[in-house]
Structure 1
Amino acid sequence: MDGTGEYDLVILGGGAAAFAAITEASSRGLSTAMVNTGLPIGGTCVNVGCVPSKHLLAVGESAFASRDNPFDAVQYSKDEPTVDWGAALDGTDNLVEQFRQTNYVDVAEHYDTDIYEGYGKLVDDTTIEVVDGADEGARITGEKALVATGSAPWAPPIDGLDDVDYYTSETILDERDLPESIVIIGGGYIALEWGQILHRVGVDVTILQRSERVLSAMEGQLGREMQRAFEEEGINVVTDNDVRQVHSPVADGGAEAVQERIAVETEVDGDEHTFRAEGLFVATGVQPNSENIGLEAVGVETDADGTIRVDEYFQTTNPDIYAAGDVIGEPELETVAAKEGNHGVKNAFGSVERSSAGHSSGQSPREDDEGVTIDYDAVPAVVFTSPEVASVGITELEYMDEHGTCSCRTVQMEDIPRAKAVENTDGLVQIVKHHETDEIVGVHMVAPRAADMIMEATLAVKFGLTVDDIIDTIHPFPTFSEAFKHACQAFRRDTSTMSCCVE
């Protein structure tokens, strides 16, 4: 797309935040254009994040099913299933292409959004210039601008890391021949999801976590439970690592060195250790894509870590420019990015009255309308491993720090009838409630289908439901979701002597 154009809203970026923004803008009758910088249209989630990783987790789960079978009545032959990794990636590529077309390209066309491909920079306040790529030289200007450039994998300053080849959550999707063994540096959700994917398709996996537990940003019990589950499955998890150096032992010679192309030197509890493998995967977080996009030129400030500084209404230090998604920092979630993009547009252009069909009435925005914000305490986080991990609200430690006391209960999945019936008993559910009002303020779980179970807990946190509200609600039996009710009941009775279905 050539030339110049003037629009109501121009967007730098083409992911979830950008598409939520054009959806909201279209409902107001606003003209929109975006410069898709970096990944193909759709951003991280569809291209290299949620969609491919969840597809490959399902591939790994199917491959691992025979080894994970708990029933004596089901027998398998000695021949273990094999995974054609290249075919798995072909399936992923096809799935990504379908999502990209139907959820992004077709949506942009439906909303008459002009898409400019190439590397874009902000110039002249709310003007974006394409400085490299297919539409180089194009300039688009808007009444308002939204920066939604997302994030990219971040590698820490480890001695020697720049001198060796390593995978990230993006580059692993280009690897058709997996190594026989791999060391993963990091212990967050990316490390755990990819660690389980690779282990279940036949790679020998070692996870090195810096802190005392994996998933260190979540409730402590969750990380400890996942480490136990991973080690039981055969994944080596080493915590309390101080990684000192990464190098290639190939230079040392020998047949063994050919198969051990990476050596990671760490200090664990004061003792020096060297972990060797054929491959290295760095999963130590992400960094915002905020460099070299013209922020300084238009007066948009960033914090020390590169995240764009915004107020609670997603307005940057330039009043005509808003920002949303990973580029403004945690929580780096696709659904949060979409909500931020939507709210950024609402705040930039003000409220409008809508008809029952959800369309704008055409009235002008009212400047005295209050802006819309997000309650981040009611945002659920999920790790799609097996078992799954899910969390919403504050943790026991956070509550203790704030109130000096905590009213918490934890139940084990092995005590839940459905989990026992299907012999899938890994996990736990913990509830944090207000010590005076009994309102549920935090729920944290490791469990089968925790990703689905967390929504009831999210509604409880969002709307201030009490443990008695949950107890008084009839739950279907037998289900995994009963674990949430069971944990609420633990505040009122001794659940170890409780019959099934008791209120």
Structure 2
Amino acid sequence: MTSTTGYDLVILGGGAAAFAAITEASRRDLSTAIVNTGLPIGGTCVNVGCVPSKHLLALAESGAAASENPFDAVTYSEEPTVDWGEALDGTDDLVGRFRRENYVDVAEHFETDIYEGYGELVEDTTIEIVDGPDEGTRITGKTALVATGSSPWAPPIDGLDAVDYYTSETILEERNLPESIIMIGGGYIALEWGQILHRVGVDVTILQRSERVLSGMEGQLGREIQQAFREEGIDVVTGNEFERVRSPATDGSAEAVPQGATVETVVDGDSQVFTADALFVATGVQPNSENVGLDAVGVETNDDGTIHVDEHFQTTNPDVYAAGDVIGAPELETVAAKEGNHAVKNAFGEEGVTIDYDAVPAVVFTSPEVAAVGTTELEYMDEHGTCACRTVQMEDVPRAKAVKNTDGLVQVVKHHETDEIVGVHMVGPRAADMIMEATLAVKFGLTIDDIIDTVHPFPTFSEAFKQACQAFRRDTSTMSCCVE
């Protein structure tokens, strides 16, 4: 029998946006309920995204420590080995703790009811669970929030549907890794997982459609990380025009091998064939907006399937809001959380809060790390017809030289009239941490002189940002380490 329970706020989805929403709702003494659809409670980040991938990146880095050692005075008696099955067991334990402490316990603290199963909007702000443990239950709220996230997306390449392949989710279920793997894609997921797999002993080839990896970021970043990957032994092939994917084991051709996948592509006008034991598709994500009842309650979607929202996260149904990956880029855990928080503020407090997406940093947790915030050189050129930009190589930064970790660069883009910093792009050690100073600069309109006039600790990698600002004022090649 169907039963209906009423709340102030009902949420379809159980990830970062949902939990930020119940946190803000609790502050306002609102009753809340979550229908956790899809992944286990916590969503992508804790289950199959940030937490497991960053854990495995650190594990793989430790495994590669001997081969990456830059110091002649340090020697290793034997190469370290990685037990991948044990690595995944440790990852599962970590994810389980995060899920309990950061999500289940939090929901209990805020007295949020959690319903498990696939839910659909059926009447304005009513959600019915149509499949799963709580099937048949209906919950209704004064306001509904759709926060169903996203899932891995596969491009329309001929034959791909007929070939088994890994994604960033399914690879976490594979205890026995292949000896070789082809990765289709050149974004942050492909790069992070490509480096993880390479460092635990898999022969990795990355095939990217664009002329460089990280095609959505400043051009120098992609070129720099490509070079670092190639030096490490990861084969990176860009400029692919994919023609076909096939399974060599079943096509009956003379090129057939016992298992795996073959990718037929054209690079610089030449036909090429890549074959490996397995295929990994890392070409982005798609919003989880289908089969959740949007049409039934008048919620419109965009051409790419993302839910259409205004700047206050309100959908075309005024009683329904949406947040997180399901409304589109940037698909980041912290952005989803901010959107969920703001949706509640706007729905119940009429606060009219928005997000300045230009001041949201993006990070790729490879080694070296990649980080960026704000406007790129090309974007600035397109808008203003000129660009005031400076780039400092990490090999010129004292800390990088001292620790023999000199891969990378820092580029600063400033306004050509006001000297305000409008973009910062970096590759190098600690870039993920260094980007926050740059983010504050972009967010609050700091000038290059504000950064120059701020004393930075010596020697640190963060001096690279200051040095890039100093490059607008002086020839940094003749500058002493401690010149302010």
Regarding TM over 0.5, the answer is yes
Match of 2:112 in 1: 113
Determine if the alignment matches structure 1 residue 273 to structure 2 residue 272: yes
Report how far residue 82 of structure 1 moved: 1.1
Partners of 2:265 and 2:24 in 1: CA distance: 49
Partner residue of 2:35? 35
Q: Distance in 1 between matches of 2:252 and 2:374?
A: 52
Tell me how far apart the structure 1 counterparts of residues 474 and 3 of structure 2 sit (CA, whole Å): 70
Closer, same or farther: CA 399–254 of 1 in aligned 2, 3 Å? closer
Structure 2 residue aligned with 1:449: 430
Aligned 1:302-317 pairs, distance under 5 A: 302-317=301-316
Please tell me whether the aligned partners of residues 240 and 265 of structure 2 are also in contact (alpha carbons under 8 angstroms).
yes
Residues 110 and 298 of structure 1: is their aligned pair in 2 closer, same or farther, counting only changes over 3 Å? same
Native 8 Å contact 2:248 2:255 kept in 1: no
Q: Which residue pairs with 2:421 in the alignment?
A: 440
Give the Cα–Cα distance (whole angstroms) in 2 for the partners of residues 280 and 116 of structure 1. Answer: 36
Q: Within 5 Å, which residues of 2 pair with 1:71-90?
A: 71-77=71-77, 79-90=78-89
1:381 Cα deviation (Å)? 0.3
Structure-1 separation of matches of 2:249 and 2:284: 28
Q: Which amino acid counterpart does residue 312 of structure 2 have in structure 1?
A: Y
1:234 is aligned to 233
Shift of 1:217: 0.2
* 8 A Cα contact 1:63 1:200, kept in partner: yes
Is contact 2:249-2:259 (8 Å) kept? yes
Query: For residue 405 of structure 1, what is the aligned residue in structure 2?
Result: 386
**Partner SS state of residue 458, structure 1:** helix
Shift of residue 501, structure 1, vs aligned partner: 1.6
- Map 1:359-374 onto structure 2 (within 5 A): 370-374=351-355
Rounded to whole Å, the distance in 1 between the matches of 2:179 and 2:315 is 47
Q: Name stretches of at least 5 consecutive residues in structure 1 with no aligned partner.
A: 351-368
Q: 1:343: which partner in 2?
A: 342
Aligned positions, number: 484
**Over residues 22-68 of structure 1, what are the superposed CA-to-partner deviations in whole Å (9 max), with x where a residue is unaligned?**
00000000000010000000000000000000000011000000000
In the alignment, is the contact (CA less than 8 A) between 2:248 and 2:258 conserved in 1? no
In structure 2, C-alpha distance between the alignment counterparts of 1:18 and 1:151, rounded to whole Å: 14
Q: How big is each residue's C-alpha offset from its partner over 1:183-234, in whole Å with a ceiling of 9 and x where there is no partner?
A: 0000000000000000000000000000000000000000000000000000
Match of 1:388 in 2: 369
For residues 115 and 10 of structure 1, the distance between their equivalents in structure 2, rounded to whole angstroms, comes to 10
Counterparts of 1:99 and 1:5, CA distance in 2: 29
CA distance in 1, matches of 2:389, 2:309: 34
Preserved CA contact (<8 Å) 2:26 2:110:
yes
User: Which residue is equivalent to 1:22?
Assistant: 22
Give 2:375's aligned amino acid: I
Please state if 1:415 is matched with 2:396: yes
1:138-158 CA distance string (max 9 Å, x none):
000000000000000000111
Distance 1:110 1:266, change over 3 A: same
- The one-letter amino acid paired with 1:10 is V
Q: Which residue of 1 aligns with 2:206?
A: 207
Instruction: Please report the TM-score for the alignment, with normalisation by the length of structure 1.
Output: 0.95
Distance 1:311 1:259 in 2: 52
Kindly indicate whether the alpha-carbon contact (under 8 Å) linking 1:260 and 1:276 is maintained by their aligned counterparts in 2: no
Q: Give deviations 1:267-303, integer Å, cap 9, x for gaps.
A: 1011100000000000000000000000000000001
Q: 2:220: which partner in 1?
A: 221
Whether the 8 Å CA contact 1:185–1:282 is kept in 2: the answer is yes
Task: Determine helix, strand or coil for the equivalent of 1:116.
Answer: strand
User: Residue in 1 aligned with 2:480?
Assistant: 499
User: Does 1:53 find its partner at 2:58?
Assistant: no
Q: Per-residue deviation at 1:254? A: 9.8
Cα distance in 2 for residues equivalent to 1:67 and 1:259? 31
The equivalences for 1:142-291 within 5 A come to 142-251=141-250, 257-291=256-290
Which residue in the other structure is 2:440 paired with? Answer: 459
Q: Which runs of 5+ in 2 are unaligned?
A: none
Whichever residue aligns with residue 29 of structure 1, its letter is D
Kindly provide the CA deviation profile for residues 416-475 of structure 1, in whole angstroms up to 9, marking residues without a partner as x.
000000000000000000000000000000010100000000000000000000000000
User: 2:388, 2:431 → 1: CA distance?
Assistant: 22
Alpha-carbon distance between aligned partners in 2 of 1:259 and 1:466, rounded to the nearest angstrom: 60
Moved segments of 4+, more than 6 Å? 253-256
Comparing 243-252 with 373-382, greater Cα deviation is found at 243-252
Contact 1:314–1:323 (CA<8 Å) still a contact in 2? yes
Distance 1:275 1:370 in 2: 54
2:57 partner letter: L
For residues 301 and 270 of structure 1, the distance between their equivalents in structure 2, rounded to whole angstroms, comes to 42
Same amino acid, percent of matched pairs: 83
Shift of 1:248: 1.1
Partner Cα separation in structure 2 for residue 251 and residue 401 of structure 1? 49
Cα separation, 2, equivalents of 1:83 and 1:285: 28
3-state SS of the aligned residue for 1:249?
A: coil
Q: Which amino acid aligns with 2:17?
A: A
Q: Distance in 1 between matches of 2:338 and 2:250?
A: 50
Once the two structures are TM-superposed, the CA of residue 252 in structure 1 deviates from its matched residue by 5.5
Inter-CA distance 478–124: structure 2 relative to 1 (3 Å threshold): same
Taking the aligned partners of 2:479 and 2:2, their CA distance within structure 1 comes to 70
